Amino acid sequence: MKGRSFLAIVLAMAITVLAKMTEARTLNSSIGTHQSKINSTSHLQFDKIKGVSVGGWLVTEPFISPSLFWSAIHWSQGSARSNVSIVDEYTLCQVLGQERARVLLLQHYKTWITRNDIQEIKRHGFNLVRIPIGYWAWKKQGTVDQYVNNITFYDPYVGGLQLDYFENALRWCKEAGLKAWIDLHTAPGSQNGFDNSGQRLLNEDLGWLAKNTTKELTHAILRNIFDEYVDGKWKDVIVGVEIINEPMGHILGIENVIEFYNETINDYLDTGKKTPLVIQEAFQDVGFWNDYWNDTKLTIYVDHHHYEVFSYDQLLNDQFTRLTNIMEYGEALEKEQSAHGSIVGEWSGAITDCATWLNGLGIGARYDGTYYKTVNSSREHRYILGACQSHKDISLWDREYKMQVRQFIEAQLTSFSANSKGWIFWNWKTESAPEWDYLKLVTHGVFPHPFDNLTYFNSDGSMGTVLTSSLESSRNNRIKYNAHASSSAALGPTGIAFNAIKLLMQTASKFVTVLLFVVTALVAF
């Protein structure tokens, strides 16, 4: 009798513990945890970098300006090279040839970013413009293989045109009172295989650093940047030079990337100039670069790029998880500031990968399953998460989707401002990718303006009651938000099972804890 009574007491205690654990998982408790962490750090600070990129201009990207690529495809009909698919700037120039590609690209350069854009960037409250530029800007005009310092390297790009427009942008920034950040966005042979490197290489080896010529040419271009654009007439405009954008460290070999960075930094130190250099994280974790180049007097910033849409697991996250991921990312950023100041130099409002051609021209989205029909990906899960809507005109988004994107943007503004040297949004504008388009987002009230005009966060960075109640409602519905897709794109039994398994895995540790408590108590008895 006493044994049964004791067992009953133990079980009651276990149930109580489990109830407390469950209670701890409720929204308000979780939000309280993150509120205290943010409050102890800082609030939005206005002396930090508040930047925007003018991507898709001097380095073209299919998802930013699809009409350019549609035009190229149309122009290519009947071409002797029409058996080559146009998927990036490399193949655009390859198929059209130098003359026709030159005509198409010149029109794009003249119209995509103008003085008015730079003036508007200033008017909207930004203080810095990140300007991506391709290495082929340093090709001698009218040649196919002659580069700066008489280096020979063949590629089909139309070169020698971009520097005039680049200097226009610097002059416009100076007139507007904006600072500029030079971003060498591409490298010969491609440093990551993305179309934004100029050359999409889905299943091919990366060419950058594979041959000494690619390293030699990149160094020569960077030396030219140091000589021509750092100090001199641009001294009061350019506040940073990014050595190379998004080198794929785990493919190139992170030791090779470190070696290249080290050589570049030493070259720059020899010039005696003081404008900060920027190293891109190379897809390494926050804090990876803490032990590098701390013994130099030169300011070196680390540029992190953070997105939540380029893997199936990220897309599976509900809104609460997505927002807390950003909070935790901010906490990691804060810890590395004592080693190197860092910024989040690319981020967006995207909560799905549904923007047309975001994953590449002709490639679909993971979110609606079309990605797996266009890419042979044996490593990815092939479940439909929902029906895409973010590729549509933003006026067609439903209210809840707009709300979720706004919350996500506010979370990033708050976290990145409080925990780093600032942020640079990607991108100023697009043709048809609203989640990545500042102008469309702010016009429709999805991006805060001014930047501290927060709806779901308090001005000190804590989550407001509106957000709390909104997320509580969403959290009660354990299925990830699916925009009116119950009939057209149901999860299906496989997807539901996967979500159920994920939920069980998330809570399994709690049950194990309780079970161990019970077993320990029984053994003691």
**Residue 306 is among the residues annotated as catalytic for this protein:** yes
| CA Rg value for the chain | 25
CA distance linking residue 56 with residue 73, whole number of Å:
18
Which listed residue (185, 304, 306, 391) is catalytic? 306
Residue 457, helix vs strand vs coil? strand
Helix then strand then coil, in percent of the chain rounded to 5, is: 50, 10, 40
Residue 373's identity, in one-letter code, is K
- 473 token code pair: 């409602």
- 343 token code pair: 């910024």
Q: 411: closest CA among 524, 489, 469, 331?
A: 331
Which listed residue (61, 89, 242, 246) is catalytic? 246
Residue 333's identity, in one-letter code, is L
CA distance linking residue 158 with residue 162, whole number of Å:
9
Q: How many other CB atoms are there within 10 angstroms of residue 525's CB atom? A: 11
Q: Which long-range contacts (CB under 8 A, 24 or more apart) does 70-78 make?
A: 71/104, 72/96, 72/101, 72/104, 75/100, 75/104
Q: How far apart are the first and last CA of the chain?
A: 13
- 250 token code pair: 């785990």
- 308 token code pair: 């939540």
Residue 52, strand partner residues: 129, 425
Element (DSSP H or E) covering residue 279: strand 277-280
Cβ 282 vs Cβ 206: under 8 Å: no
Sequential DSSP letters for 372-436:
HHHS--TTS---------TTS-GGGS-HHHHHHHHHHHHHHHHHHHHHSSEEEES-S--SS-GGG
CA distance linking residue 295 with residue 20, whole number of Å:
49
**Residue 281 is among the residues annotated as catalytic for this protein:** no
For residue 392, what are the contacts with CB-CB under 8 A and spacing of at least 6? Answer: none
Residues designated catalytic: 246, 306
